[in-house]
Amino acid sequence: MSIGNRVFPRNWPSLGDLVEQYRGLPVANISDSMQRLSGGGSRLRPYHNGAYLCGQALTVRVRPGDNLMVHQAIEMAQPGDVIVVEAGGDLTNSIIGEFILAYAERKSVAGFVIDGAIRDVAAIRQSNMPVFAAGVTHRGPYKAGPGEINVPVILGQMTVNPGDLIVGDDDGVLAIAAADATDLLPAARKKHGAEQGSWDRIRAGKDDRSWVEAAVRASGCVFMPAGASAAGNAK
């Protein structure tokens, strides 16, 4: 077995309508519902026109700066797949550009998440296809391999397994384990609904902020008496 240079078959089940039920939910609300412990990190930023990313992960691991296996993943992709690429976070050479984007659009790929660099940003900014990446460079990729497809990959603090649900918006990108997607959805919807209620109270001037001082006092903070000055404690 050629470990590090192999393509596994697609053996993960479709999440079906569950994907569409997540579409449009703020990633921040989903993240809060996952105890804020997962995420691709602040380096993975959106470079497209703001379209929401939602689909199942077709995972790819590549040598930094080489996109041969990304091309192979596009050939294997089914409509709605998100191609998730572990490229070592290296920004020396790009992994995708506008030509790959065109191939992927023809296959109805849902988007890209790349822990590496991209190029042709002007074209990507005008595209409806979501593209999240760690950075930009004009230097193009190599196409020699090796790499792996449909294996677990790691991007930042986020482990992505083939078939996991990927969501992304202007705040960043997040992976949801396929086995957790059904149970997480009600909690994410509840969090989103609670935030909408908070906005309604803020706009109406009916928000209760008494919790702030209570929390500060509970932390052990001392409120000094009137007239006290920090300057008098200076050494």
Specify which residues 30 forms β-bridges with: none
81 touches 109 (CB < 8 A): yes
Q: Which residues contact 185 (CB under 8 A, 6 or more apart)?
A: 18, 21, 22
Question: Which H/E stretch holds residue 184?
Answer: helix 181-203
- Reading the block at residue 124, the tokens are 């990507």
| 137: number of Cβ within 10 Å | 18
Q: Read out DSSP for 79-106?
A: TTEEEEEE-TT--SSEEE-HHHHHHHHH
Residue numbers in the known binding site for substrate are: 97-100, 119
181 touches 59 (CB < 8 A): no
Asked if the bond preceding 146 is cis, omega within 30° of 0, the reply is yes
Cα torsion 30, 31, 35, 40: sign: positive
Residue with tokens 């065109």: 102
Alpha helix segments (H runs only) across the chain: 18-22, 27-33, 68-76, 98-106, 121-125, 181-203, 210-218
Residue numbers in the known binding site for Mg(2+) are: 120
Determine the 3-state secondary structure of 26 from DSSP. Answer: coil
Residue numbers in the known binding site are: 97-100, 119-120
Separation between Cα atoms, residue 169 and residue 189, nearest integer Å: 16
